[in-house]
Structure 1
Amino acid sequence: MSSATSLRPVILSASFQKESGVLVPTSQISEEAIAQFSPVDLVDVINQTTGVYIQSGAINTNRITIRGVGSRTLFGTNKIRAYFNGIPITNGAGETTIDSYNTNTIGNLEIVKGPKATQYGSNLGGTLLLSTNKPEADGFSLHNYFTVGSFGLFKHTTNFVVEDDDLSVHYSYEHLQLDGYRENNAYNRNSYLLTIDSRLNDTFSLGILFQHFNTYAEIASSLSQENFDVDPSQAAFTWGQAKGFKDNRSVLAGLSLTSKISESVSNTTSIYYSYLDSYEPRPFNILDQHTNGYGARSIFAKEFFNRNRKTIISLGTEWNQDFYNWETIENRYEENAGFGSLEGQMLSDNKEERTSFNIFGAAKFPVSAKIKAEVGLNINKTQYSYSDLFTLGTENKSANRNFDPILAPNLSLLYLLNSSITFYANGSRGFNYPSIEETLTPEGVINPDISPEKGWNYEIGTETKFFNNKLQIQVAAYLLSIQDLLVAERVGDDQFIGRNAGKTEHKGLEVSINYKDSLGEKLTLAAYVNSEFNAHTFVDFVDGDSDFSGNGLTGIPREKIATGFRVTHDLGFFASTNYQYIGVQPITDSNSLYSDSYQIVNVLAGYKTNIYNFLTATISAGINNLADETYASSILINASSFGGNSPRYFYPGEPRNYFTSFQVSYFF
């Protein structure tokens, strides 16, 4: 940093839009790391991170848990908050999907574990910050990616990039199709992405984001133990008969203006709009839903200097409003001569307006030459307004739910023992609001007694570097105590009730080791070992006549170990392999049933060459699940049995499969 008397570059608040800016270490997944895995989705590379576990039933069926938070969600993810280039991609009900994001356009993924990122909503699980990749050089460039593989995999991406001092344009088109390993498991996606960053003058910069997804995904659903053992490639019987699928069309648009108010003060203000149109035939009904979302986000940043020590203060607000409409329709697939779903009578017609408002502030400042501190506070106000349009005029079930404001403070301390060893501590409060199902009773009215989950996160850790930063070790220990645990209890084929069922305690130890060095004059080795061990338990949990207090938290493995290495040669050759071990996990709250542990090995090798100064090409090939392990990639906890059938707990993971990728880049 420059001295106090020289000209200092302003710290633009735009950095707070794409980076967490928190004082303590976070997990970063780089573009290089993403390239070491299958280009289909982000699941495998995220699962290498300590404290984070994605259960994946299919490309479009993922449940993200961070340090055990989110394991109670039966389908999808709703205990974290996510942003793409600074624009929220989490809807008003707290639901987040990342399956549509193209691996060939993601340049960095930052994961904040726990409610430490005050300016991002203080969710108990944490925050995901996705950002697009940056151009390699100024000028015009065109990048084409092609991938073919097992189970009918075909993927094509075209990225067109313009980059200079005052203008950056990134346009991407992607087509992905897959027949799928299982019956009724095909997937098809087309996506378009446009980002523009323009420096208008010395004071203002303008950012534009437009993204469109069109996805069609057949649904094979989960299997019972018997069917999983006999033939994991089969679809659940009723889902196969109904030919269930989900057809989504979504739009995300955002406009950001960054203002340099003075040499030390800046502001970034964003407005955004999102739209989702989803049609999903299921055996028990057909769900037709669409959501219009609006929002605005504004952050001011100010930096001070005192004796060459920098203090940064940020203040901001974020407002989100969703208008969610959904209908359920009778599915008469059994009368359709084997052609799948057939619409019958309307069963329900609903509308919900969801509004959330955050005010937040944070300050990072030096306490002494070796100690830095960060203090922050997030204040949230959320309300739901529900209307039953189906029974309107006969039985009015419409109601409002106005939650009390929640205050979420945050304190972090960082101690620099020397240039190689750092210690840190954090204490922060977070919260999670109920999902749509949890806010309604089986009769379809607002549940007046449901409350948000609230909890305190405590964490200590160290980051140590050896051998001129070639070896880096991170160790973190945490305790997360959650009260008013939200439980979605299944009472019918598509009926859930939500309630606050007690307390959980999340305790864990995470160790990350990274090493990078040269092997001779032409070879470079990068290796890592990421391991986590936890003891997540129900402290107080009574369900009806059953007391599950003291049992292990359902749907979370006690151990997770990921390791891998990558070797690159100056001539362009590269090879990598990664290994993951997932320990056993309880499937039921009674802990009477556990899933089996499993191990997965993936390998990849390739070659990159410069054909001309303006043309490069890369070819690679990979094998996923090298040992052909049979395993469940996702568990449906506490699954119920209906009609005398066995509970369907398991989503089968893919067997051994192959892919080949080819990339060509033109630079003008």
Structure 2
Amino acid sequence: MHRPTFLLPFCFILCALFFVPKTYGQQRADSITSLDEVILLEQFIKKKAIGITPSSSLGTKDLEQYSPIDFANGLNEITGLYVLSGALNTNRITIRGVGARTPFGTDKLRMYFNGIPVTNGTGVSAIEAYDFENMGRIEVVKGPKGTSLGANLGGAILLNTKAPEVGTTFLNNTFTLGSYHMVKDNLSFRHSEQGFNLNLSYNHLQTNGFRQNNSFERNGLLLTSSVKLYPKGKLDFLVNHIGYSAEIPSAINATDFREDPRRAAANWLAARGFERNAYTLAGVSHSHFFKNGFKATTGIFYTYLDHYEPRPFNILDEFTNGFGFRSVLEGKLGQGDLTLGTELYRDEYNWSTFENEFRDNNGNGSLQGNQISDNKEFRSQWNFFATYTLAITKRLTAQGGLAWNTTRFDFRDLFNQGTDNTSATRDFDPIVLPSLGLAYTVKKGSLFANIGRGFSNPGLEETLTPDGVINPEIEQEKGVNLEFGGEFTWFADRLHMGITAYQMNIKDLLVAERLDQDQFIGRNAGQTRHQGIELDLRYHQKLGANWLLSPRFGYSFSNHTFIDFVDGDNDFSGNALAGVPRHRLNSGITLRKADKFVIHLTHQFVDAMLLNDANTLSSDAFNVYNFLSRYHFTLSKQLGIGLHVGINNLFNLNYAQSVLVNARGFNGAEPRFFYPGNARNFFAGVRLNYML
């Protein structure tokens, strides 16, 4: 099983060595016009990160290398970012080790959807609320250098829907069937003309899942539109609604993972645990171009989440109303470019818990019993930011940034009365977040360096004690990130290399300590040092008139350690940070014939991950290979048909696609560390495109 470990990296190196000398000698003879049109066009879409802020991005063709429901592997192409996916509804994104200690979900970064902040009041982002078949570009800013994007320690993820093609009107439907009774359909209507565009998409997904108690069903609707109001102004509209129901198999122990990874955790299976969500995002923004070259964009938005989740230990019933605005002014000031902006996010989180009487329900799963708690929390964040970018010489550009953040939590206990009432407020001190970046152009590319300060707010479990009282001692995490690197192209732009080295020191590390199945307490516990290197290589080689071979290679090295971490009687100072693979490799080979036929072979290597702070337990390293092929042909000027077929986990490996750090066993049971990845599975589908 371990023989093919480095097959694809070896193929990449072999292809580069074989083709590069030949290509170099033919630079002037070969036209690369078709290469740009087929492969590189998406790289020239205007990035959203302001100025010279480094970012990584994925375009439509990058995402189409994978199954239409496998967004985790797509995002894992980005070096330094790792998605631990326990299920379609259970995902945790870590960037350079930040967020690795979060028990469930994604936090410590900021996420935007078409420019609208969609991270909630305690910093949680739900990547599963979006259908990736609707995405045209995903951009990632790693670390707190994104001054205008929240300056969170983990960075920012920018999701952007497909851009309109002026002068086109068409219907597009992509239908896919797969293993585990998977059915997915994405139907979209797109119309674009000068001054107006409209995109309406409906998506449906259902699957029984690989494991017990693992079914998932989702329906979604996305509407985007842009209207030119007058020569210097336009309005943009966005409505995204997702409703889904997902059974929860939860993590399993080492014995079950080894003997039968399809098992669900026994208590979750007995309770038939699941979650049901309805999520709505609506926003409108106005852009105006002034005569002096400045542009002002102001948007307002509203979010609503209704969540119901029966767990073995209780039943959670919650809903959240959120609203806010973001306003940005940008233009030329003096010899440089100025950006000023502000962002407000405020939400009202309501949650209640009830006893789960599934043990008295004759094997029929969860049964709601008496109410245990009733709570409300108002959460607000203000961000102000400014950046100024100045070309010092023809080759050297500098960018300074300054952000200011204030956060407030107002907790209301609506269940207990008198002295038992735990209502309280918590105002965090305002925090100032400076940044400085430099970019220097060289003959075959560019060099960059930047330094920035960032922060992370505590999550809900960390702000409250197990008794439901606001924790007055908790502080925000704060850190300073320093990085430098470069991007280079050689051989007539056929070979692209990017390399980055970074160090981030974080103090007041937030730790969510698990006391019971449903009880956590947050505290600040020392400092961590995050060091790493990220390397990206991409190569494009023509094979005849219409064929193109494109190998790629991405490598992440992570050296993340506790500088100072004492937990009770245990001193973990000097230990490695758990939940982060030290080495990670993502590679692939694409063979394409124009836009007619394409084959993708992709590979991911993930090193062993430590499972606890004592560094005494770890998961196994693994290699996973995936295959996908697409074929497109036209029946007429109006009708085009595409076929796709794929295989995930080619060698049927049993591997942990996600792990739970510092899991504990209760009542004598083994701790449950592992979320198994799917066994070998297949999918196939058809895409119809009809031009109106």
Say if 2:415 and 2:421, in contact at 8 Å, map to a contact too.
no
Q: 1:454 aligns with which of 478, 483, 501?
A: 478
Q: 2:663 aligns with which of 632, 636, 639?
A: 639
**Alpha-carbon distance in structure 2 between the residues aligned to 1:137 and 1:616:** 19
Amino acid at match of 2:531: K
**Alpha-carbon distance in structure 2 between the residues aligned to 1:50 and 1:253:** 32
> Secondary structure at the residue paired with 2:589?
strand
| 1:278-297 matches, cutoff 5 A | 278-297=307-326
Say if 2:50 and 2:148, in contact at 8 Å, map to a contact too.
no
2:147 counterpart of 1:118: yes
Question: Shift of the alpha carbon at 1:396?
Answer: 2.0
What's 1:64 paired with? 93
Question: Shift of the alpha carbon at 1:618?
Answer: 0.5
Which range moves more in the overlay, 37-46 or 455-464?
37-46
**Aligned residue pairs: how many?**
649
What's 1:558 paired with? 582
Question: Shift of the alpha carbon at 1:89?
Answer: 1.1
Question: Shift of the alpha carbon at 1:571?
Answer: 7.3
**Alpha-carbon distance in structure 1 between the residues aligned to 2:646 and 2:165:** 25
> Secondary structure at the residue paired with 1:119?
helix
What's 2:279 paired with? 250
Amino acid at match of 1:449: E
Q: 2:407 aligns with which of 371, 382, 386?
A: 382
**Alpha-carbon distance in structure 2 between the residues aligned to 1:211 and 1:16:** 23
What's 1:140 paired with? 169
What's 1:12 paired with? none
What's 2:517 paired with? 493
What's 1:191 paired with? 220
Question: Shift of the alpha carbon at 1:421?
Answer: 2.3
Question: Shift of the alpha carbon at 1:568?
Answer: 1.0
Say if 1:18 and 1:130, in contact at 8 Å, map to a contact too.
no
Relative distance call for 1:360 and 1:305 in structure 2 (3 A) is closer
What's 1:264 paired with? 293
> Secondary structure at the residue paired with 1:104?
helix
User: Normalization by structure 1: what TM-score?
Assistant: 0.96
**Alpha-carbon distance in structure 2 between the residues aligned to 1:22 and 1:335:** 61
For residues 174-201 of structure 1, give each alpha carbon's deviation from its aligned partner in whole angstroms, at most 9, with x where no partner exists: 0000100000000000000000111111
What's 2:48 paired with? 19
2:493 counterpart of 1:464: no
**Alpha-carbon distance in structure 1 between the residues aligned to 2:219 and 2:112:** 21
Q: 1:301 aligns with which of 317, 330, 336?
A: 330
What's 1:341 paired with? 366
Question: Shift of the alpha carbon at 1:606?
Answer: 2.1
| 1:527-566 matches, cutoff 5 A | 527-566=551-590
Question: Shift of the alpha carbon at 1:369?
Answer: 1.1
**Alpha-carbon distance in structure 1 between the residues aligned to 2:532 and 2:632:** 41
Superposed structure 1 runs of 4+ greater than 6 Å apart:
15-18
> Secondary structure at the residue paired with 1:585?
coil
- Flag structure 1 segments of 5+ consecutive residues without an equivalent: 1-14
> Secondary structure at the residue paired with 2:664?
coil
Question: Shift of the alpha carbon at 1:392?
Answer: 3.0
Question: Alpha carbon RMSD of aligned pairs, Å?
Answer: 1.3
Relative distance call for 1:478 and 1:42 in structure 2 (3 A) is same
2:385 counterpart of 1:356: no
Question: Shift of the alpha carbon at 1:106?
Answer: 0.2
What's 1:313 paired with? 338
**Alpha-carbon distance in structure 2 between the residues aligned to 1:571 and 1:277:** 42
For residues 11-65 of structure 1, give each alpha carbon's deviation from its aligned partner in whole angstroms, at most 9, with x where no partner exists: xxxx999711241431110011101101014111111210000100000100100
What's 1:42 paired with? 71
What's 2:650 paired with? 626
What's 2:131 paired with? 102
What's 1:371 paired with? 396
For residues 449-482 of structure 1, give each alpha carbon's deviation from its aligned partner in whole angstroms, at most 9, with x where no partner exists: 1000000000010111101111110010000000
Relative distance call for 1:571 and 1:194 in structure 2 (3 A) is closer
What's 2:34 paired with? none
Say if 1:268 and 1:298, in contact at 8 Å, map to a contact too.
yes
**Alpha-carbon distance in structure 2 between the residues aligned to 1:378 and 1:571:** 44
Percent of aligned pairs sharing the same letter: 44
**Alpha-carbon distance in structure 2 between the residues aligned to 1:457 and 1:393:** 46
Which range moves more in the overlay, 136-145 or 534-543?
136-145
> Secondary structure at the residue paired with 2:420?
coil
For residues 543-581 of structure 1, give each alpha carbon's deviation from its aligned partner in whole angstroms, at most 9, with x where no partner exists: 010000001101000000010011111371211110010
**Alpha-carbon distance in structure 2 between the residues aligned to 1:300 and 1:75:** 36
Question: Shift of the alpha carbon at 1:136?
Answer: 4.3
Amino acid at match of 1:68: G
**Alpha-carbon distance in structure 2 between the residues aligned to 1:47 and 1:17:** 22
Say if 1:83 and 1:128, in contact at 8 Å, map to a contact too.
yes
Relative distance call for 1:514 and 1:490 in structure 2 (3 A) is same
> Secondary structure at the residue paired with 2:540?
strand
**Alpha-carbon distance in structure 2 between the residues aligned to 1:652 and 1:338:** 26
Say if 2:380 and 2:407, in contact at 8 Å, map to a contact too.
yes
User: Normalization by structure 2: what TM-score?
Assistant: 0.92
Which range moves more in the overlay, 491-500 or 563-572?
563-572
> Secondary structure at the residue paired with 1:226?
helix
For residues 619-662 of structure 1, give each alpha carbon's deviation from its aligned partner in whole angstroms, at most 9, with x where no partner exists: 01000000111101010010011111110000010010000021
Question: Shift of the alpha carbon at 1:139?
Answer: 2.5
Q: 2:545 aligns with which of 501, 513, 521?
A: 521
Say if 2:53 and 2:146, in contact at 8 Å, map to a contact too.
no
What's 2:22 paired with? none
Say if 1:84 and 1:129, in contact at 8 Å, map to a contact too.
yes
Q: 2:247 aligns with which of 191, 209, 218?
A: 218
> Secondary structure at the residue paired with 1:612?
coil
Relative distance call for 1:18 and 1:515 in structure 2 (3 A) is closer
Amino acid at match of 1:389: L
What's 1:206 paired with? 235
Q: Which has the higher helix share?
A: 2
